[in-house]
Amino acid sequence: MPKRPEYVSIAETLKTEVLAGKYDDEALPANATLAERFDVNTKTAGRAIQQLIAEGIAIARPGMRAIPAPPPLRATKWPMTGRYARARAAQDLIFADDVSGEIRKDTIRREWVEAPILVARLLNIETGTRIFKRHSRTYVNAVPTEDTAMFFPSPIVKAAPRLETNEHIQVVKIIEEAGYLITRTANSIRARHASATEQKLFGIDANGIVIEHTHGTYGAEDEALEAVINVRPAQGNVVTFDTYEAPIDNDPEAK
């Protein structure tokens, strides 16, 4: 098991203190103060504060120290592992726990491609920029139920080469181990007619409808970390779940 990042332990200690009311009348400690207290560098201390902000425990103030969120609003955000939950719930989409049967996710293809318009917008890059693409497919009882394309900018792949080389990946875990903190996503969900390839894959006709869920993932400095396009048939087993964090029991590299 990989060692837990220091900033996570610091954030949990600070979270306990905030929820106990320790900082109700003052701002959270400065990064330098936290660095000295926990014997870490200021970057690690800063990531701990960013984690509290991401979880809704603290409020960021540009140029000033973060402050605790008002007591009635603390710890009301979805945990990071469920950061797409609200968008999915709003569309009445189904979670993996609601699906009965054997769920399998296969890696179909890994390649470097030129960024299409939609992905370029999510990654804040020029159309045609070379990016890394992972294509995977999810099955329920051997029936294809989701087609997924994940795109990563070259600096992120350079910092986290396992995104390119590993057969199975847990994206959040790998990106955070590379030193990034995921703080937000931008989601878009739309229904559209299936393409010819999707018709064949999902066994639907030219009038068949699919749900396309796109999202961009961003870090503490609002840097683009990943863009994802999920396509699912609008009828039958519609599967939506946090594939990035899902454990893969038979893959030692994912432990």
Mean pLDDT of 2-16: 83
Residues 6 or more apart whose CB falls under 8 angstroms from that of 91 comprise 189, 211
pLDDT digits (tens, 9 = 90+) for 216-235: 988 888 899 999 998 988 76
Predicted local confidence at residue 221, as pLDDT: 81
Domains of the chain by start residue, with CATH: 6-73 (1.10.10.10), 80-254 (3.40.1410.10)
Predicted local confidence at residue 75, as pLDDT: 54
Predicted local confidence at residue 240, as pLDDT: 45
- Which neighbouring-strand residues pair with 143? 140
Cβ pair 50, 220 in contact under 8 A: yes
Top-confidence residue, 153 or 171: 153
Counting runs of H as helices and runs of E as strands, what totals does the chain give?
A: 9, 8
Mean pLDDT of 149-166: 96
Plot region of 126 (φ>0 → left; ψ -120 to 50 → alpha; else → beta):
beta
Q: Residue 47: is its pLDDT beyond 50?
A: yes
| Beta strand ranges found along the chain (DSSP E) | 58-61, 64-68, 103-114, 130-140, 143-153, 182-193, 209-219, 224-233
